[in-house]
Structure formats: structure tokens, C-alpha cells
């Protein structure tokens, strides 16, 4: 089947996300040249577009592709390496030594491929990444046909990737130039965090982000310790310091935000900045709780991310939405907090808006790219379907995902990856697992 010539996807339910709260019964999405041409009742589509390929999704919900707004794709190779540890021993005794020893282009290539395979199978069509050797991640995503916003990482410390702040920025801008204008790959500045990047590079990044018109993706207020350290060192909280350095703007994508004062939530809303909520990583590392209901009430744009697989330990965005919903309800003692449509919005249009891609993706409306996910709701654990949106969030899970399209190309076809060799990717990951595990054991015991 030649999808590029156009097709009509008929679904039991189409959930376009825009307009908000709408669920369309027995509707079809017409795709031409990778874009959505029309969303209309199936019966009408069969008459009007009878000459197109018809894709039947009779037990399925069809939704916009999910946007994982914060991850470190290559860290899939460190999944499960060291769990159930506090943040600092976890980082200092396991993650950082493994990264120092193994992270290079091949590690990032193989780890990114594992992440891309996992995410496509989970209905993720776009991810925003922050890691070293972003060129490798960009190549892997582009070759798979997946959409990605590749972070131009900056950090004060040397790594196998770059020597110092200047070197990171130089390499980042070269990466940006190399991919500029690509249909699927975008870039964003990705200074690691306020506590790992000093004033001078942050100021330059703020200026460069304006010049190149790029988002600015940074870990922010992840823990109370980070905030206390900033107050001791700079006399202000990290968000205030970023504001002083010119980083608080609609470009800002602050990740985690477990420590926010009411005034900070108001200024995030006033400046049009976005927050990426990563509840499972925050819970697993006991970092704190992002005040999701307060952010939504203030009108802050909120996206959702899995964070890296070392601290989650999966890249399951639907699972992350369920966690976000349950945590919001428990944390606010309000069962009405973060309802299912608001959660789905975070994983679609909210993510797209954070990444500056909301004109292109995030909802099923004519003119946007045909990034779509079909989920089969006929399994026992999904029945009966009173409300397909709440079913997706609270019951279905990623195992319901059967088909995924990015820009109209079917990358997952009845649960089979069409552009990736899943067996080869898994075999490479297992090889890395043996090498990394042996070194971690030597390091921990020596
Ligand atoms: Zn992270």
C-alpha cells in the first residue's frame, strides 16, 4: 500500500483533541501528502473518497500522535542498572561512572534506536531529547521516520562529547545547521540545568535562542536541594536566576518543576513558558511533586515527559498520563483534578505547543501533519467503553496501540515496526547490557 498517495482511516472513535473534549463516532481521517485533508463521518468519506486506500479501524480510537516532551533516549541502555537508590548515590556511584566509560556515538546510536522502537510501539510520534551526541539521535529518528526535537546540550563539565561550554555550543550550532529545514527533525537549546550551567553560557544561549528562533529546554526546580543550593550560591531561586539571565519567555520549557511558589506559577503563566511534568521520574527518585492542578488552573501550558529510562524505567507515555492523573488527585485531595481530557491534551497539543510545533502537530485537524495513533479498545481490560478518553488514560495502556503514522507514513502496522529491525535493536541492547553490567559490578565492588 502506498500511503503517500493518500488514504482514509476509518475509526470507531476519532478523538481530535481540538476542539477540546470532542469524541467523534464512526469518523474518518483523510490523509494526502502526509497531511490531514479532512475529518468527517465515515459514511460520507466512503462516498467522497472512494478511490483512496481505506484503512479500517473498527474497534479503535484514533488520536493525535503522542509527544514525549522530555527524555534522554540513549539512556535506555542504562535501564534498570541501579534502582531504589537516592538521587546522589544513584548518579555518583552508577549512572555517571557508566556514562563516563561508555557514552560515545555508538552508545547513543544504539540506545536511541531502542528508545525509538519502544516509543513508536507506545504511540509516541515525537520526542524532545536531551543528551550527548545528538547527531546520532537525529539520524536514528530520521531513518525511522519519527519526529524529534533534538537538544543542543550544554553543561559546564567536559564529556566524551565536548570539552567546555564553548565546545558544547559550537557543536550544538553545527548540529542545528546540519538539520535545519528537515521535515521531521528540529532542534532546541538544551542547557542541562541551572546548577550545571553557569551564567555566561546561559546568557549566550538566551541570545542564540532568539536569533535562531529555537525553544529552550532545561531541567528546572527538580528538587528542593537544587533550589536551596541556588539560594545559597546566587541569592535567588533558579527560576528567578533564569529570568535575570533572559531565559524566561515563551521559548522556555522547564522540566520537572516540583518546587514552585504561587508567584512563580503566575510568572510562568504571564511569560507563556511551558512546564514538562515527569511524574514517574519525580516519584521514583523521590524528588517531589509538580503542582499540576495549580499550573493548569493558572493557564500554564503543561506537557508530559517520561524522562530517561534510567529513572522511570520505561518510555510509556500513556502510563505516565495515568500516573500524572492519579498523583494530581491524591496530591490535591480533589478527585476532579486533572481530568482525562486535560491529561490527553498534555500528551498531544500541550507537548506540541511547548516545542513550538502546535501549528504542525498535536491535534487531528485539516492542514496538520498526519501524526496519528490507533488503539484497539476491544480487549477485555478495555471493555465496555463508556468514555473512550477515560478508557485511554485509565485502562487501555500502551499495549492497545496497534498502528502509528508520522506525516502519513505507517511506522507501526498492526503492531509491527515497519522501518526498524526490532530483533537487531534488542540484540545490540543486550550486548550493551552485558558490558555495562560487568563494569558497574566492578566499579561498585572495587
Ligand atoms: Zn531529564
154-183 tens-digit pLDDT: 999 999 999 999 999 999 999 999 999 999
CA of 28 from ligand 1 middle (Å) equals 37
Asked if 126 and 349 touch (Cβ cutoff 8 Å), the reply is no
Question: What residues have CB less than 8 Å from 310, skipping those under 6 apart?
Answer: 72, 75, 78, 79, 81, 95
Q: Which ranges of 104-237 would DSSP assign to H, the alpha helix?
A: 105-121, 134-144, 165-179, 199-212, 224-234
pLDDT in tens, 4-37: 569 999 999 999 999 999 999 999 999 999 999 9
Q: Report the distance separating Cα 319 and Cα 306, nearest Å.
A: 9
CA of 305 from ligand 1 middle (Å) equals 9
CA of 99 from ligand 1 middle (Å) equals 15
CA of 9 from ligand 1 middle (Å) equals 35
What's the pLDDT at 444? 67
CA of 314 from ligand 1 middle (Å) equals 13
Cβ atoms within 10 Å of 259's Cβ, excluding its own: 23
Q: Report the distance separating Cα 410 and Cα 327, nearest Å.
A: 34
* DSSP string computed for 232-269: HHHSS-HHHHHHHTT--STTEEEEE--S--HHHHHHHH
Strand 66-71 versus strand 124-129 pairing type: parallel
CA of 308 from ligand 1 middle (Å) equals 6
Asked if 355 and 147 touch (Cβ cutoff 8 Å), the reply is no
CA of 35 from ligand 1 middle (Å) equals 32
CA of 307 from ligand 1 middle (Å) equals 5
CA of 72 from ligand 1 middle (Å) equals 6
Q: Which residue has the cell 501524526?
A: 371
Backbone angles phi and psi of 56, in degrees to 5? -100, 125
- Per-residue pLDDT band for 321 (boundaries 50, 70, 90) equals very high
Task: Flag whether pLDDT at 48 surpasses 60.
Answer: yes
CA of 250 from ligand 1 middle (Å) equals 20
In this structure, which residues have their CB less than 5 angstroms from ion ligand 1? Answer: 307
Asked if 404 and 411 touch (Cβ cutoff 8 Å), the reply is yes
CA of 208 from ligand 1 middle (Å) equals 22
Average pLDDT over every residue of 92-117: 96
Q: Report the distance separating Cα 391 and Cα 38, nearest Å.
A: 25
pLDDT in tens, 81-99: 999 998 888 889 999 999 9
Amino acid at each position: 500500500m502506498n500511503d503517500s498517495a493518500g488514504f482514509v482511516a476509518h475509526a470507531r472513535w476519532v478523538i481530535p483533541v481540538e476542539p477540546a473534549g470532542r469524541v467523534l463516532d464512526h469518523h474518518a481521517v483523510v490523509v494526502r501528502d502526509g497531511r490531514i485533508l479532512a475529518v468527517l463521518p465515515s459514511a460520507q468519506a466512503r462516498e467522497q473518497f472512494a478511490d483512496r486506500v481505506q484503512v479500517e479501524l473498527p474497534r479503535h480510537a484514533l488520536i493525535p500522535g503522542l509527544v514525549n516532551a522530555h527524555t534522554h533516549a540513549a539512556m535506555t541502555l542504562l535501564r534498570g542498572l541501579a534502582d531504589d537508590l537516592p538521587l546522589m548515590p544513584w548518579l555518583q556511584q552508577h549512572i555517571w561512572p557508566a556514562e563516563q566509560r561508555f557514552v560515545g556515538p555508538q552508545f547513543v546510536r544504539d540506545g536511541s534506536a531502542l528508545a525509538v522502537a519502544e516509543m513508536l510501539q507506545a504511540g509516541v510520534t515525537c520526542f524532545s531529547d536531551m543528551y550527548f551526541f545528538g547527531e546520532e539521535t537525529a539520524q536514528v529518528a530520521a531513518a525511522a521516520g519519527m519526529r524529534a526535537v533534538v537538544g543542543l546540550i550544554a553543561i559546564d563539565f567536559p564529556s566524551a562529547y565536548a570539552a567546555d561550554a564553548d565546545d558544547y555550543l559550537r557543536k550544538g550550532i553545527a548540529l542545528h545547521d546540519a538539520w535545519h529545514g528537515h521535515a521531521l527533525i528540529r532542534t532546541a537549546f538544551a542547557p542541562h540545568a541551572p546548577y550545571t550551567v553557569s551564567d555566561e553560557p546561559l546568557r549566550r544561549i538566551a541570545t542564540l535562542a532568539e536569533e535562531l528562533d529555537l525553544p529552550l529546554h532545561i531541567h528546572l526546580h527538580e528538587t528542593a536541594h537544587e533550589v536551596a543550593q541556588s539560594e545559597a550560591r546566587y541569592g535567588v531561586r533558579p527560576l528567578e536566576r533564569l529570568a535575570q539571565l533572559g531565559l524566561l519567555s515563551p521559548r522556555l520549557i522547564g522540566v520537572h518543576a516540583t518546587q514552585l511558589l504561587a508567584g512563580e506559577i503566575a510568572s510562568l503563566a504571564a511569560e507563556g513558558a511551558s512546564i514538562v511534568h515527569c511524574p514517574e521520574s519525580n516519584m521514583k527518585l523521590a524528588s517531589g511533586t509538580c503542582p499540576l492542578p495549580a499550573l493548569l488552573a493558572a493557564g500554564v501550558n503543561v506537557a508530559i515527559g517520561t524522562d530517561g529510562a534510567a529513572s522511570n524505567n520505561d518510555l510509556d507515555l500513556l502510563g505516565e498520563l495515568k500516573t500524572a492523573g492519579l498523583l494530581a488527585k491524591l496530591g490535591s485531595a480533589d478527585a476532579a483534578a486533572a481530568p482525562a481530557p486535560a491529561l490527553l491534551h498534555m500528551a498531544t497539543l500541550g507537548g506540541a505547543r511547548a516545542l513550538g510545533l502546535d501549528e504542525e502537530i498535536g491535534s487531528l485537524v485539516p492542514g496538520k501533519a498526519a501524526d496519528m495513533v490507533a488503539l484497539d479498545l476491544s480487549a477485555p481490560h478495555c471493555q465496555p467503553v463508556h468514555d473512550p478518553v477515560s478508557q485511554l488514560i485509565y485502562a487501555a495502556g500502551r499495549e492497545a496501540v496497534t498502528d502509528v503514522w508520522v506525516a502519513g507514513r505507517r511506522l507501526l502496522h498492526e503492531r509491527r515496526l515497519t522501518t526498524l529491525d526490532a530483533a537487531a535493536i534488542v540484540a545490540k541492547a543486550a550486548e550493551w547490557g552485558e558490558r555495562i553490567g560487568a563494569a558497574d559490578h566492578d566499579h561498585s565492588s572495587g
